[in-house]
Amino acid sequence: MTVNIALLGFGTVASGVPFLLQENSTKITAQAGTDIQIAKVLVRDVAEKDVLRAQGHAYDFVTDISAILNDDAIDIVIELMGRIEPAKTFITQALQAKKHVVTANKDLLAMHGADLLKVAKDNGVALYYEAAVAGGIPILRTLAHSYTADKITKILGVVNGTSNFMMTKMVDEGWTYDEALAEASRLGYAESDPTNDVDGIDAAYKMVILSQFAFGMTIKFDDVRHEGIRHITPEDVKLAQKLGFVIKLVGEIVERPSGIYAEVVPTFLPKDHQLATVNGVMNAVFVESIGINEAMFYGPGAGQKPTATSVVADVIELAKGIQKGAVLPAFNTFARETVYATKEDLVDKYYFAIETDDKAGQLLHLAELFHAENVSFEQVFQENLGDNRASIAIIAHKMDLNQFDSLVEKISALDGFTLRNTIKVI
Amino acid sequence: MTVNIALLGFGTVASGVPFLLQENSTKITAQAGTDIQIAKVLVRDVAEKDVLRAQGHAYDFVTDISAILNDDAIDIVIELMGRIEPAKTFITQALQAKKHVVTANKDLLAMHGADLLKVAKDNGVALYYEAAVAGGIPILRTLAHSYTADKITKILGVVNGTSNFMMTKMVDEGWTYDEALAEASRLGYAESDPTNDVDGIDAAYKMVILSQFAFGMTIKFDDVRHEGIRHITPEDVKLAQKLGFVIKLVGEIVERPSGIYAEVVPTFLPKDHQLATVNGVMNAVFVESIGINEAMFYGPGAGQKPTATSVVADVIELAKGIQKGAVLPAFNTFARETVYATKEDLVDKYYFAIETDDKAGQLLHLAELFHAENVSFEQVFQENLGDNRASIAIIAHKMDLNQFDSLVEKISALDGFTLRNTIKVI
């Protein structure tokens, strides 16, 4: 038999799919137990079709999704267009047409995953998306099949390659945020609007998906606190280094007695933490659990071949099941009622970077303010910035999220003080 | 329904199984789709049974394997006794009695895995062993299910916790081999006869198993070149550090155009290599491939709970399949004819540590010898050791394995020279 697939979109990642199917054809056929053929490829318009034909691509290009939906020979639809629409409509229609779907679309899955999975279930088909989190790292299938006996207590992830590339340059080379962004743009790592990457939005999408696989709960995107790397200065980086830390943008999901919580925030990582050496565009997911204790999964977060490898691995798992004729298992079967942690249950150390006038009594002011919140200083660094300005960096002892929010609010409101940045300390 | 399991042995790891079944019972039952019960536990003799009963363990302890083999209610047998016999006989009998088997026994699998897998196949049952390589790291299932679309070109593994603990102490603290071994013994990491760990035998077993999952080929244990860490001195460690390397005992499997090759040898790893920060008893497997490119899987290599977690994950996968009533998939389905690489096809850089009399012309002697093998020096370090003795450390440019073997033989035979150590340079 042959399993027929249709590709929606033929961009960079999509063109990696035929590369793998050809390059590894013997292994893939043996593993899948069947041939896998690209039956149709959806492109935008006739012009794109003509360009791809001229480049030598001999697929059956179509410009109307119904040519795929109505083709009974097609078993699996691979969506690699990205963004919400028309991907959402096309995936929904493909599932309704009883076709299995593979996608790498994290934005879509984070915002509408639950709806799409319901459509899949209602139609007796499967929706797989290993490539949606940390592209080339096989993390979702591993959580779904190898952590079944374990109870995960914390996930820490460096899951945005663009911001991690920038942070690596800022740490290793002492570059400013703007210098790092310029280089990321030049190398094609940053989009013309880098907001999703540098503000932690992309990483927050991934936390939503990881929360489902690791904790069986669905944290809503709007409930993932996210803060980016725009405010990190060379001074923050230098101080971190002096104290034995590396700054990275880290996504965290934690389960506390009261429930779970997720955030993406700049973080001081101890230099000997396994995540601290995840550099450049590489990604890693660090998993803490009661059984395995500590494990890390490291690899490329994006890129044509890594992402296509995860996509084709999904296709092979589906192809194996299609031959058996049974209903295919859902990609993730771990589901519990979602319960959010209380702020009192979320306790961390923080670094506060503050600027103020260089005059007597300023530090006392801050000390009184922290004392009023019942938070004490672990370390304080004061530096004259010239022009009668001073920088005060405080690493405070553990506080809960209420105390942290209250401190941020009060320092921000304090006359003559500027709260330049806050960074979580692990 | 209930899936019934029998434990062969009730040592440290085995007692982690009931811990997980109880601690994570809700999740495990949901993931498996069934209750999992420990029906019987095989112990050595009545005395052990009495001790365990006195400790409060209320299992149905049996001292005769036939009580398990003849119990039709038992679906899965978990072997955690270790060593070759009687484990091999018991596993064979369990498979013949149509029971699925889960084991963590790497020695047995490396030496007799092919035979046991044939018995499993012939009897329509499955043999799973995620815990056999790098205990808590879910590496085998990941290779079997997430690398299906990829072609692996190289595996590098730090897969022996004892020797890695020792090397970490030798690198970080400057300890000698003997000091590191004494500490490993004191902490219970090293057995009274540490041979398997420090001579690379244990890691070589794991390379045999990894070769099957990563390359679909079975390298015989006797064909895994293995050399241990006994000859590594603080001088080697210091020189490595000076040159930007960390020394570790690394297992490598590589596929070259002529075939595959595996070895376990002390290795200079560049400090920024992801494996270089895998310290203490932790393990990691670094995978190079044409699709994902570079990925690493890091976690505990041993220990009660990590190993039990992998064992129970295997049990859950089996339990899922048992309910469906179909023949369970083999743990690994990737198989090709095993073809070994030629020595000409295996090219690496090497470090040679040589001692000789401190007199004129000695380095010239060595230079002539290397020149005759068509191998040139990359770096040379000569040091006076006192007593008219000198140490010569050479990092040589890339050579194939024939050249390396020939150099080792010739230097060893050279009058007045002692080849103290050789270390591969990555």
Last residue in a domain, options A290, A324, A358: A324
Of B88, B169, B206, B424, the catalytic one is B206
Structure tokens at A238: 């230098």
**B359 annotated binding-site participant:** no
Structure tokens at B29: 């039952």
Q: Which of residues 285-324 of A touch B (CB under 8 A)?
A: 289-300, 303, 305-306, 308-313, 315-317, 320, 324
- Select from B32, B291, B300 the Cβ nearest to the Cβ of A305: B291
A338: in domain: no
A381 touches chain B (CB under 8 A): no
Whether A14 and A42 map to the same domain: the answer is yes
Q: Which residue has the tokens 């048992």?
A: B322
Answer yes or no: is pLDDT of A115 > 90.
yes
Alpha-carbon Rg for chain A in angstroms: 24
Size of interface A-B (CB pairs under 8 A): 196
CATH code of the domain containing B109: 3.40.50.720
A61: in domain: yes
Which residues of A are annotated as part of the binding site for NADPH? 106
What pLDDT does residue A66 have?
98
Q: What is the ipTM of this complex?
A: 0.96
What whole-number distance in Å separates Cα of residue B318 and Cα of residue A284? 29
Task: Give residue-wise pLDDT tens across range A131-141.
Answer: 999 999 999 99
Whether A219 and A122 map to the same domain: the answer is no
Whether A350 and A365 map to the same domain: the answer is yes
Whether B75 and B102 map to the same domain: the answer is yes
What pLDDT does residue B360 have?
86
Whether A312 and A354 map to the same domain: the answer is no
Per-residue pLDDT of chain B (426 residues; tens, 9 = 90+): 899 999 999 999 999 999 999 999 999 999 999 999 999 999 999 999 999 999 999 999 999 999 999 999 999 999 999 999 999 999 999 999 999 999 999 999 999 999 999 999 999 999 999 999 999 999 999 999 999 999 999 999 999 999 999 999 999 999 999 999 999 999 999 999 999 999 999 999 999 999 999 999 999 999 999 999 999 999 999 999 999 999 999 999 999 999 999 999 999 999 999 999 999 999 999 999 999 999 999 999 999 999 999 999 999 999 999 998 878 999 999 999 999 999 999 999 999 999 999 888 899 999 999 999 999 999 999 988 888 999 999 999 999 999 999 999 999 999 999 999 999 999
B338: in domain: no
The H or E element containing residue B18 is helix B12-23
Answer yes or no: is pLDDT of A325 > 90.
no
Are the beta carbons of A290 and B274 separated by less than 8 Å? no
Query: What is the tally of structural domains in chain B?
Result: 3
Whether B151 and B293 map to the same domain: the answer is yes
Whether B106 and B199 map to the same domain: the answer is no
Q: Which of residues 196-225 of B touch A (CB under 8 A)?
A: 216
Which residue in A133, A141, A145, A311 has the most chain B C-beta atoms within 10 A of its own C-beta, making it the best mutation to test that interface? A145
Confidence of residue A80 (pLDDT cuts 50, 70, 90): very high
Whether B311 and B355 map to the same domain: the answer is no
B329: in domain: no
Whether B296 and B150 map to the same domain: the answer is yes
CATH code of the domain containing A274: 3.30.360.10
Task: Give residue-wise pLDDT tens across range B274-300.
Answer: 999 999 999 999 999 999 999 999 999
Task: Indicate the length of chain B as a whole number.
Answer: 426
Task: Give residue-wise pLDDT tens across range A327-341.
Answer: 899 999 999 999 999
Name the percent of chain A in helix, strand, coil, to the closest 5.
40, 30, 30
B331: in domain: no
What pLDDT does residue B324 have?
85
Bridge-based pairing state of the strands A417-425 and A152-158: unpaired
B173 Cβ partners below 8 Å, 6+ apart?
none
What pLDDT does residue B407 have?
97
Last residue in a domain, options B266, B300, B334: B300
What whole-number distance in Å separates Cα of residue B14 and Cα of residue B102? 12
B281: in domain: yes
Contact residues, chain B, for A309 at CB < 8 Å: 147, 149-150, 289, 291-292
| Among B246, B280, B255, B285, residue whose Cα is nearest residue B156 | B285
What pLDDT does residue A302 have?
92
Whether A107 and A174 map to the same domain: the answer is no
A164: in domain: yes
**CA dist list (Å): A372 to A106, A135, A342, A368, A410:** 42, 46, 21, 6, 11
Task: Give residue-wise pLDDT tens across range B335-346.
Answer: 999 999 999 999
Whether B130 and B105 map to the same domain: the answer is yes
Confidence of residue A233 (pLDDT cuts 50, 70, 90): very high
Last residue in a domain, options B324, B356, B390: B324
Whether B313 and B291 map to the same domain: the answer is no
Are the beta carbons of A300 and B292 separated by less than 8 Å? yes
- Select from B32, B150, B293 the Cβ nearest to the Cβ of A24: B150
Question: Looking at CA atoms only, how far is residue B317 from chain A in angstroms?
Answer: 8
Contact residues, chain A, for B295 at CB < 8 Å: 136-138, 297-300
Are the beta carbons of B149 and A316 separated by less than 8 Å? yes
Q: Which domain holds residue A414?
A: 343-425
A312: in domain: yes
